[in-house]
Amino acid sequence: MIVARSSGYLWDIVATLVGRELRIRYKGSVLGILWAILSPLGTVVILHILFTKIVPLNIPNYAAFIYSGLLPWTWFQATVQTGAATLLDNRDLVRTPFFPRAMLPAVVTGSNFMLYLLALPVLLLLILMEGIVEIPALLLLPVIWLVQAMFTLACTILVSALGVVIRDVQHLLGVGMLLWFYLTPVFYDLDRIAPDKAQLFLLNPMAVLIQAHRAVTLYGRAPAWPALALWAVLSSLLLAGSLVVFRTLEDAFVEEV
Amino acid sequence: MNISVEQLSKRYWLKDPAPQTFQQALAQMVGVLRRGKPFWALRDVSFAIGEGESVGIIGRNGAGKSTLLRLICNLGRPTSGQARVTGRVAALLELGVGFHPHLSGRENLYVSAVVAGLRRAEVAARYADIVRFAEIETFIDQPLRTYSSGMKMRLAFAVAMHVDPKILIVDEALAVGDAQFQQKCVDRIAEFRSAGVTLLLVSHDMQMVRRFCTRALWLQGGELVADGPAEEVTAAYERVVCPLEAKRTDVEVVHDAVELLESEAKA
């Protein structure tokens, strides 16, 4: 049975639970919400030392380069990873009568997007320091967010439902996401890979999205529209499909969480 | 029609105990398809509840009352048949849903009220009322982990009492707080009733059922034994079940109940 809820109410649910998520995350820590900036910055420092001093990749503006890829990647990766357990972590909500359960993956996607937004000013600072700010291109960023949000949400809905029925999913994801990270040009430059091989990266939506992010933030140009449009369409199909899977498994996982 | 239940059945599988010996493990592996023993929590239950009716569900432990409420509340899939509900439901099945120990009473209030079905603006408008009802004005900004269990329950209950439901489903959760607080909850439910809210109440307290309900459903062994005026059904229940020795089986109880109700119908 599907209970129709007004979209306004669904928005309230997501907004309230995203707020709760962010409050819980930083409650009691000394630096609080600053960690949203500090933890990606820490990763950048490590990768920067690794790939400029130890194994030099010779990519210009390397700090800004990694940061511009790492932020959207972290949004995706953290969402899917925590999304796999979100129904189990929120057992009491899942077992609440008429609670719109499909909103839980949206809450994970939303709260990780908030963390992304919080860390974004540092990227602006980094590209400002390198003197590469192109305002008109930056205005295209929301379009990329939309495509990435759709793709991330679709993946999260899928793994969250599967994660209850098959609990191995969480463990599998740990390895899977590591592999996906290396297959995505986060710390290396796709433009330096032989063109015939680079073509293959079009099959990886996260590669397409990271490239789009970089085009806009780092190089001040429009993203590669055809690839982005293709993945926008595929993502919306995937989203519809994952909702069908979620609905099918819903009755089963209510009894199993 | 607010709630309609048609030929509803629910079967659970009771898992076999984990094998103790290698031999048992082997035996279980051979019978890979064994899912355990079937257990029918509900069997072919049908009834309909109209708008503004107040109905009590009674029955012994394990009679299927909670399973029935869960299915009406869309938690789990019926094995056969269906349960349908129309209108905003407030269900007091589990209290304090969405509560987090490290957030303040205020933050928890907002979350759980939205989860219970209110818009954010509605919560803001009712905030003061909820806090006053819960009697925790002084502590509302303290983290929930510092609350006593009674305070937590009062807060949860206060939220549930301010959701403006069309249908209120209560699962024997009314014993919260001191006598005065309980009285407040009882008054509030009476208010709901006179406002035309449909009430579905599961209780072992026949006084309570008679007080709030005009109609009662008696479940026994997953089956609906009686459906009629609360006075009659609770009286019959008290006569058959309360002096009941543990030795009697469901079949005997059902038999007695049917006989009793039939003789009453004749009289």
Give the pLDDT confidence of A117-149 residue by residue, as tens digits: 999 998 888 888 877 777 788 899 999 999 999
- pLDDT value at position A10? 94
Residues B49, B83, single domain; the answer is yes
- pLDDT value at position B244? 57
Lowest mean pLDDT among A39-43, A224-228, A251-255: A251-255
pTM for the full model?
Answer: 0.85
Collapse the DSSP code of A112 into the 3-class scheme (helix H, G, I; strand E, B; otherwise coil) and give the result: helix
Residues B153, B116, single domain; the answer is yes
Contacts of B94 in chain A (CB under 8 A): 92, 95-96
Residues B45, B173, single domain; the answer is yes
With CB atoms and an 8 Å threshold, state whether B100 touches A24: yes
- pLDDT value at position B149? 85
Q: Answer whether residue A2 shows pLDDT above 60.
A: no
- Is residue B187 in a domain? no
- Is residue B191 in a domain? no
Cβ of residue B103 closer than 8 Å to a chain A Cβ: yes
Taking residues A59-70, report their average pLDDT. 89
- Is residue B103 in a domain? yes
Residues B105, B137, single domain; the answer is yes
Average pLDDT for runs of 10 along chain B of length 267: 90 78 70 72 94 93 90 89 86 80 94 92 95 94 92 89 86 72 86 90 88 94 94 91 62 79 78
Q: Which domain holds residue B234?
A: 1-13+40-87+167-179+198-248
- Is residue B193 in a domain? no
Lowest mean pLDDT among A45-54, A202-211, B49-58, B103-112: A45-54
Residues B204, B82, single domain; the answer is yes
Amino acid at A166: I
Which of A24, A93, A255 is facing B115, going by the closest CB pair?
Answer: A93
Residues B60, B175, single domain; the answer is yes
Residues B156, B244, single domain; the answer is no
- All residues at 6 or more sequence positions from A33 whose CB lies less than 8 Å from its CB, including other chains: A22, A26, A118
Q: Which domain holds residue A28?
A: 2-256
Rounded percentage of chain A residues whose pLDDT exceeds 70: 98
Contacts of B167 in chain A (CB under 8 A): none
Residues B173, B143, single domain; the answer is no
Strands (E), A100-237: none
Q: How far is A9 from chain B (nearest CA, A)?
A: 6
How many CA atoms lie less than 13 Å away from A4 in the CB half-sphere?
Answer: 2
Closest by Cα among B61, B9, B13, B56 to B34: B13
Q: What is the mean pLDDT of chain A?
A: 90
Number of independent structural domains in chain B: 2
- ipTM at complex level: 0.84
Closest by Cα among B174, B194, B206 to B54: B194
Residues B242, B207, single domain; the answer is yes
Residues B238, B171, single domain; the answer is yes
Number of independent structural domains in chain A: 1
- Is residue B222 in a domain? yes
- pLDDT value at position B23? 72
Residues written for chain B: 267
Q: How far is B53 from chain A (nearest CA, A)?
A: 20
